[in-house]
Amino acid sequence: MNTGTVGVLLAGGMARRMGGGDKSLLELEGQRILDWVISRARPQVDALVLNANGDPDRFREYNLPVASDVIGDFAGPLAGILTGMDWARREAPAAKWLASFATDAPFLPADMVARFHAAVAEEGAEIVCAMSQDRAHPVFALWPLRLMDELRAVMENEEMRKIDRWTARYRTAHVSFAVDADGIDPFFNVNRPENLEEARLLLGQRGAA
């Protein structure tokens, strides 16, 4: 595959609503949530980098490069996006795009990046973000790597932290993804302990169907 796109798996948050730790390493039906995410994200991009802070050895079994935030103080998902851009510039200089994936969403669409690129071609968008059920999911997005220096500047000089505030400065398209045949929102995310149980129930329903 040669999409000119690098993927960044965003696992740099503090997971306060889950009580701390790595949400992505929680088990869901015999696999970690991160396994579910990687299996869907990897085929869509040319290379993957995992954005995570702290000891990278806890992700050793995934055999992925791990990059910690290039902006300190847990600056949120924009820091992870900038980190992915920084890694892509150094390690995949031919790439032109970065696709970002949250690592707490085990049902993410397998055609997400392809549909994002289609929106770029059809709408002349600079940035593309996902939607489902009339709700935007800006951490699932496609970013032109040429914006890296601009993003770094606004994060350092304006303390930009909100994705929506930054995307508002550019031509941004939103691609809507439908709930699947089993009633699962593709961007369902495991934010709280009760969400993990809900994900298990959803998978049980899918298996029964």
pLDDT at position 13, please? 60
pLDDT at position 200, please? 85
- Provide the β-strand partners of residue 136: 131
- Would you place residue 73 in the very low, low, confident or very high pLDDT band (cuts 50, 70, 90)? confident
Rounded mean pLDDT of 142-152?
97
Least confident of 11-20, 28-37, 92-101, 141-150: 11-20
Q: Which one-letter DSSP state was computed for residue 125?
A: -
How many Å from the N-terminal Cα to the C-terminal Cα in the chain?
A: 33
Q: 1 pLDDT exceeds 70?
A: no
Q: 201 pLDDT exceeds 90?
A: no
For helices 148-157 and 77-91, angle between their N-to-C axes, nearest 10 degrees: 140
Rounded mean pLDDT of 103-115?
96
Phi, psi angles (nearest 5°) of residue 205: -65, -40
Distance in angstroms (rounded) separating the CA atoms of residues 170 and 180: 30
Handedness of CA 135, 141, 144, 147 (dihedral sign): positive
Domains of the chain with bracketed CATH = 5-208 (3.90.550.10)
Token output for 160: 């930009």
- Would you place residue 19 in the very low, low, confident or very high pLDDT band (cuts 50, 70, 90)? very low
Q: 114 pLDDT exceeds 80?
A: yes
- The helix/strand/coil state of 21 is coil
* CA dist list (Å): 92 to 20, 65, 110, 129, 141: 32, 12, 22, 22, 19
Q: 198 pLDDT exceeds 90?
A: no
pLDDT at position 182, please? 82
180 or 18, which is more confident?
A: 180
**Residue (of 60, 68, 1) closest to 25 by Cα position:** 60
Distance in angstroms (rounded) separating the CA atoms of residues 137 and 129: 7
Q: 2 pLDDT exceeds 90?
A: no
Q: Which one-letter DSSP state was computed for residue 54?
A: S
Cβ atoms 5, 99 nearer than 8 A = yes
pLDDT at position 21, please? 64
Distance in angstroms (rounded) separating the CA atoms of residues 146 and 208: 46
pLDDT at position 47, please? 97
Q: What percent of the chain has pLDDT over 70?
A: 93
